[in-house]
Amino acid sequence: MFKTVGIYKNIKDPNAFEEYYQTKVFPIILSLPGVINIRVSTLIPTGQSDPNDDSVKILFETYYESAEALEQLMSSEAGKDVIQLILGHDLAEFESYIGIETFFEK
């Protein structure tokens, strides 16, 4: 399964960050062809319990039907518009990756 992974750190205002993504970014991404879903994880360092601490990171994983679907989306105008939404704010620092998942089960 193919996905993109966005890691956000030094989130300036967690409430504004959450609202921006839930109302502006996620609805657009989820409407695009080839997108399956988005998973969000709040990463809190081990031994810490305050999710508003500066060391907290947010991980967004967007899953796609295939590598081809991801490639088509990234080169489309809609994909470029989403990238601008993601990069066009100063709510947090951002890093982006493409991930290829492998599952191991018991």
- The domain spans of the chain are 2-100
45 CB contacts (<8 Å, ≥6 apart)?
55, 56
2-100: CATH topology is: Alpha-Beta Plaits (3.30.70)
CA dist 23 and 84 (Å) reads 15
To which residue do tokens 């066009």 refer?
Answer: 88
**2-16, pLDDT tens digit by residue?**
899 999 999 988 899
pLDDT band for position 34 (cuts 50, 70, 90): very high
pLDDT at 44: 83
pLDDT band for position 101 (cuts 50, 70, 90): confident
Residue 47 pLDDT greater than 70, yes or no: yes
To which residue do tokens 């899953």 refer?
Answer: 63
Alpha helix stretches (DSSP H) within the chain: 14-20, 26-31, 67-75, 77-87
